[in-house]
Amino acid sequence: MQVGDAEFREVEKHKISPKIVTSTIPAHSVFIFLLTVVLTALVVELLPPNCTYWDWATNEFILPESVPTYAVYGKSPNEEHLLHVAKVLQRLGYKRVALQNEWDLLWAHDYPFFKMTNRLKDLTNQQIVNHVPGCGFITNKVDLSTNELTFLPKAFRLPSQREDFLNYAQKSPNALFVQKHNEHRHILIRPVKDINLQSSDTFVQEFVQKPFLVDGYKFDIGVYVIVTGIDPLRLYIYTGDVLFRYCSVKYYPFNASNIDSYVVGDDYLPTWQVPSLVKYYEHLDGNMRDSFDAYVRDQYSDPSIIWLQVEGIIRETVLAKEQQIAGILRSYKNLNFFELMRFDFIIDEDLRVYLMEANMSPNLSSGHFKPNALLYEQILYSAFSLVGVSSLVRGTLSERSHDVQEMITSAKNVATNLNICTKHGCNRFCNSDYCNLCLPCLTGSEYEILKRTHREHLHRASMKRVFPKPILNPENFDIEAEVQNMTKRNAWLTRWFYYKCLYDNSWCY
């Protein structure tokens, strides 16, 4: 029922307007509240990252999650070459700290063992460094190239091997030679009469004259290699891809004065600009190695011939230098080191592979060639996974307790060859050679080596073991012949892999 206008106005006239009640908060109370908020925020901001603090909202102590840390050692003020290293570590949850602080990982672009000797000789069990003391025995270009290894082009150290070089040149009138510095700069084919035979820290190397070409371009191949242990040796290569770099000028007609036709420079021709490789790399999304392999098959050749040689050369090169490196390592308390290198190869027209050099701290910057970013980051991810820098277990490396470590690798994962151990009573006596791999007879350091080896096997990502050598056919594998010429510790680790392989073929390779 509606109320008439007159009645409505009458009712409204007699309504009592409500009183508006207001209250005023004292200004000093507002000031105290704001000051408390600001001070609390300031204190929290200034607290050390691992400090416990009180959360007033929940009335409980908060324990901020610890994060693993890394520091960088390098002489260059420009850190563009570390861009992908920093990106990958950030994605893995690492925080960068100053070099003088405590860190879990030291990433050194330059060799750190001269300037940081004392600190690196006193590493904790949880710290790890990306170089191995003594690795220069492999990466020094003069030392490497003048070794008597069949896959190295003949080379002579100057000036000490001057006479040997002149005699060799006289007996090889058709040979060409390049003079190289240890820094690998200013390479040029020179007549023997123009070579400075008195120059120190240089060497003369025979030039491989008939290289395998792709669309007329000479190239080199960069294979990424990682050493995780010395004596016994643990050696891996990255198999996700390799770095192909093509000369910017075609090889023929050959002109020794045109170095761009036979020396790979900074402005090299990348895979995606080589005409015959575009269909594989761009159109079918193959990687550099797969694209090259497809081209080789197009030439009615078998690319596996190349890669078997590459693995063998890497293995033989590192083994040749292992004992020299082991001698340097004896003065270090903890052997928490790994070495990521790039081995550079060339191939002749008969698919014979030659090692040209091994690079310490290889280029991992995509500043010049952006598409290489994926390659570098995948290499780093696999390397960090292999050595335990990357882990699904939360917290810093030092906070991974015994129980956490046992969860990943325990004695039961390391034990092998149980029948032989039982047969020879190795649970009671260790005086038989058959007991060398039986758990009760392992020394503390041997047990730690096997635990690390087991963890590497679990977390190797795209890394392939090169030494101990993969076992392709365990039924026909002669373990005694394999270890015959090895050092005692390398033979010991090779046997361990062999016995693991017999019971689980995932350990064969």
pLDDT tens by residue, 80-106: 899 999 999 999 999 999 999 999 999
- What is the token pair recorded at 495? 């046997």
How many folded domains does the chain comprise?
2
Answer with the one of 166, 186, 206 that is the final residue of a domain: 206
Q: Return the bridge partners of 220, or none.
A: 245
d(CA 197, CA 195): 6
Q: Which of 101, 119, 106 is nearest to 71 (CA)?
A: 106
Is residue 411 scored above 90 in pLDDT? Answer: yes
Grade residue 289 by pLDDT with cuts at 50, 70 and 90: very high
Amino acid 66: pLDDT: 80
- 206 HSE (CA, 13 A, CB side): 21
Q: Which of 137, 72, 131, 70 is nearest to 339 (CA)?
A: 131
Which residue shows structure tokens 């990306």? 130
Grade residue 18 by pLDDT with cuts at 50, 70 and 90: very low
| 53-67, 94-108, 143-157, 456-470: the lowest-pLDDT one | 53-67
d(CA 382, CA 283): 27
| 163-177, 382-396, 414-428: the lowest-pLDDT one | 382-396
Amino acid 30: pLDDT: 65
Is residue 481 a part of any domain in this protein?
yes
Alpha helices in 134-285 (DSSP H): 136-139, 141-145, 162-171, 275-278
- Mean pLDDT of all residues belonging to the chain: 89
Sign of CA dihedral 203, 204, 205, 210: positive
Is residue 231 a part of any domain in this protein?
no
| pTM score, whole prediction | 0.86
Mean pLDDT, to the nearest integer, of 367-383? 96
Answer with the one of 162, 186, 206 that is the final residue of a domain: 206
Which residue shows structure tokens 């600001």? 38
Amino acid 327: pLDDT: 96
Is residue 448 scored above 50 in pLDDT? Answer: yes
The residue among 65 and 201 whose pLDDT is bigger is 201
Is residue 47 a part of any domain in this protein?
no
Mean pLDDT, to the nearest integer, of 338-348? 98
Is residue 174 a part of any domain in this protein?
yes
As a whole-number percent, the residues of the chain with pLDDT over 70 amount to: 86
Is residue 327 a part of any domain in this protein?
no
Answer with the one of 142, 175, 206 that is the final residue of a domain: 206
| 44-53, 60-69, 404-413, range with greatest mean pLDDT | 404-413
Contacts of 331 (CB under 8 A, 6+ apart): 121
Domain hosting 501: range is 406-507
Is residue 454 a part of any domain in this protein?
yes
Range 380-400 burial, b when 16+ CB lie within 10 A, else e: bbbbbbbbbbbbeeeebbeeb
What Rg, from alpha-carbon coordinates, does the chain have? Answer: 32
Amino acid 194: pLDDT: 92
DSSP for residue 331: T
